[in-house]
Each structure stands twice: as structure tokens, then as C-alpha cells.
Amino acid sequence: MRADVDEFRELAPPLRHHAGALLRKPRNEQEMTEPPRRVVGKRQVRPNLSRTDFGYHQCMLRFLSPPARARRSAPRPLVAMSSGPSHFVVMATGQIEGAKFEGHDSLYCRYAFSMGEDWTVMKGVEEGITQLSSASGASSEGGQVAVWNFPIDVTFRSTCAHGWPQIIVSVYGTDAFGRSDMILGYGAIHLPIAPGRHELYVNTFRPLASSLAGRLQSWFSGMRPEFIDSLFPSKSQGRDVTRVQSFGTVKLVLDVTLQGMETLGYATVSQQTAVRLSSPFAAR
């Protein structure tokens, strides 16, 4: 037992000294090329390390010490990045004011935004549904109008003007037989490209069956044709083979703000040069 303890004490100092040499930086070239020594009395004795341990010792010293090439090379100057805007912002706030559908009383509207691939919604609600409103008004005042005043607040971000956002409206209501949730009209319109306050009138349409028998069947059953994709009115694919009937108008009031378009090279249109349409809600 005593011999084992002496052997352990004889081996421990070299290993401990060897580990300490790996953790500190070598003082001179001799320590980088030679394995560490231990002191026995007044003599320095090289520990009995194998070739594998000695090679591992040299590799660790090279890894821990910084390379000479890195010490000689001067730091590269940092290149200043451009701080200019890389996108523009389109903000639209307002409301869906109302709709006019002759012969229909209780109406509600669903709305959604359709945009290109480069466009993203930064803030706000992308789609929604209004409350149910009963149409009121006299014929002398332009017909019965359903008033919603449903708020809209959305902010878009993009790097390209292609795919300018559109708002799609879908109006539902009751028919002459009192059947509810009947589609009355679809419509889509682009957001104004000029900043300021705008009154938009969306002329809606409803799809029709392709044959007379299909129309009679939908009229008796109360199941009118509808689009599977609610964003279909904003697309051009398949519109040439779709049979529709114009019916109804929806009014929107929007305040549009543009930011960063002139910096990216786009010229904005002033509100004075924008085309103003007559209100279909006015009395005739």
C-alpha cells in the first residue's frame, strides 16, 4: 500500500505541471518546443511523456497561442453601410360607410385585402366583417342605404409597387323570401395611389349560373352561386369565363398616407389631379 502511494505522488507532479503549462501562455520559444519540466530537489527533471503526449502538448500550445500572421496583420477598416430606406410604407385608415342594394333590407359586409408577393402587413387587421344593418331612407333621397361605418386601419410595407393592395368586399343579406345569408354582390378596388382623403364607390356584381335551368334551380332552392375563393374578384385568371350580373354599390371613405416612395424613385400623385367620380348614392 505504501509503495502505491509513493508511486502516485511520483506521477502526480508531472501531470499537474503538464496541465498547468497548457493553461498559461509560454514565456519563450523553449517552452513552446519542449515539454514542461518538474523540479526534484535542485534539479529540473523532464517528465516521462510518451510521443503521443508530447505531440498533444505541442498542438495545444499552437492552438492556444495566436498565429504570427494574425499578430502582424492590421485590422481592416469597417465599411459604412447605407442608412437609406429599403422599403416604402402605405397606411390606410377610414371606414366602410354603407351600401345600397335595391329591394334588400338587412345587409352585412365582409372585407379582405389582396396584395402582391412583395407586400406584407405591418400593422392592423387584414380582414373583417361588419355588423348587420337595416337599410333606411326614402326614394327621393337616393333609395334605401344600409349604414355600417365600420372602421378600417391597416399598414402595408413593400419594396415594389407591383401588386398594389386591393380591398375586396362581399355583401350578404336577406332576399325577398326572407332567406338570410344570401350573397348579393362581390367587388374589388385598389387603394388610392394619392395621399389624402378619398371617397371610393365599389360597384358590386354577383355570379350567375351558366344555364337557365341552373338559374331556376338556384332561385327556388335559395342557393345562389358563390365564388369558392373570396379573393377571386381581385384576380384576372378565369374572369373571362365567369358570368356575372351587376348589382349594388358599396361606399368607402379612406385616408391614405405614403412614406418613403419618393426616396426609392416613385413619383406620387397629388390629390388635386386624382379623378373624382359622382356619388351613386345622391338623389337623381
Quote the crossing angle between the two packed helices 2-23 and 51-64, to the nearest 10°.
30
Are residues 105 and 193 located together in one domain of the fold?
yes
Cell 377571386 locates to 232
Cα separation, 89 vs 61, whole angstroms: 56
For strands 166-173 and 127-129, give the pairing: unpaired
Cα separation, 136 vs 239, whole angstroms: 34
Q: Find out whether 36 and 61 touch, Cβ atoms under 8 Å.
A: no
Residue 140 DSSP class: G
Q: What residue numbers bound the domain in which 253 lies? A: 88-273
Instruction: Report if residue 225 sits inside a domain.
Output: yes
Are residues 115 and 188 located together in one domain of the fold?
yes
Are residues 196 and 232 located together in one domain of the fold?
yes
| pTM beyond 0.75, yes or no | no
Which range, of 7-21, 118-132, 163-177, 252-266, averages the lowest pLDDT? 7-21
Q: For the chain, what is the domain count?
A: 2
* pLDDT class of 19 with cuts at 50, 70, 90: very low
Most confidently modeled range among 45-54, 56-65, 81-90: 81-90
Query: What per-residue confidence (pLDDT) applies to 17?
Result: 45
Sign of CA dihedral 216, 105, 132, 144: positive
Instruction: Report if residue 203 sits inside a domain.
Output: yes
Instruction: Report if residue 78 sits inside a domain.
Output: no
pLDDT beyond 80 at 48: no
Instruction: Report if residue 280 sits inside a domain.
Output: no
Q: Which of 42, 72, 102 is the last residue of a domain?
A: 72
Query: What per-residue confidence (pLDDT) applies to 16?
Result: 45
Cell of 198: 378619398
Query: What per-residue confidence (pLDDT) applies to 15?
Result: 45
Are residues 6 and 62 located together in one domain of the fold?
yes
CATH (domain of 206)? 2.60.40.150
Between 200 and 267, residue with greater pLDDT: 200
* pLDDT class of 79 with cuts at 50, 70, 90: very low
Instruction: Report if residue 278 sits inside a domain.
Output: no
Are residues 30 and 103 located together in one domain of the fold?
no
Query: What per-residue confidence (pLDDT) applies to 51?
Result: 47
Query: What per-residue confidence (pLDDT) applies to 144?
Result: 82
